[in-house]
Amino acid sequence: MNTPRNANHGYSRFDVYRNTKMDPTARRQAFTLAEMLIALIITALLMAALAAVVHGGLTSYRENEDLATVSQTARAALTRITRDIRTAEAMEYGNELFTIIPPNDGSGITEIQYERDGGELIYRVTKSGHEATESIIASTDDVQISSFSVTEQTGQDWQGYDCTKCLAIAITLTIEGKTHSFSATARPRRNHLY
């Protein structure tokens, strides 16, 4: 039996009302405002957690990069100083000045000095009466030197004379406001009598 179509395209007023208002299985067309707000809050919390993880990773990366830079700078300076100590004929050291007299090996070098001057570590070499200066740690670098000291350990040689057995070199470097201390020891190849 054919029923005439009404203005609701073949559905009665009851069918239209039932499908949109009372039927829990009816399909909705959009989200409610409460659902949108909950989704927005969850998304914001997830983004904040992700931002915290990324920030922590970047901070750790920068700190490791700074530590590698300061370690490399300290290693280069201490290696150079200990090499000169091992071949020294005589040494003199004060508060932040360390002077090495190398052996007469025909190179013409008569004196080597390491000095902390402000935030720099200066290397001076006197060769054939001419002095050359080089900044090992420059004040324009990211790394600054804040202390430099040399201490000796004395003992007796095989003849019973007092001599320098070992020298300890300590430097403190600063990068990004953080200080790092480094040290090295070197034994002169000759036991120096003082």
Q: Render pLDDT for 76-85 as a digit per residue (tens, 0 to 9).
A: 999 999 998 8
Round to whole Å and give the CA distance between 94 and 97: 5
Q: Which of 142-146, 153-157, 178-182 has the lowest mean pLDDT?
A: 153-157
pLDDT, tens digit (0-9, with 9 covering 90-100), for 102-124: 888 788 888 999 999 888 899 99
Residues belonging to the chain: 194
Please check whether residue 75 is in contact with residue 139, taking contact to mean a CB–CB distance below 8 angstroms: no
Residue 61's alpha-carbon distances to 57, 65, 67, 73, in angstroms, are 6, 6, 10, 18
Predicted TM-score of the model (pTM): 0.68
- The mean pLDDT of 44-51, rounded to a whole number, is 95
Phi-psi region of 40 (alpha: psi -120 to 50; beta: other; left: phi over 0): alpha
Asked if residues 178 and 66 have their Cβ atoms less than 8 Å apart, the reply is yes
Residue 194 reports pLDDT greater than 50: no
Alpha carbon distance, N-terminus to C-terminus of the chain:
127
Q: Closest Cα partner for 103 from 89, 91, 117, 92?
A: 89
CA distance 119 to 71: 17
Q: Could you report the per-residue pLDDT of 119-140, keeping only the tens digit for each?
A: 889 999 999 889 999 988 887 6
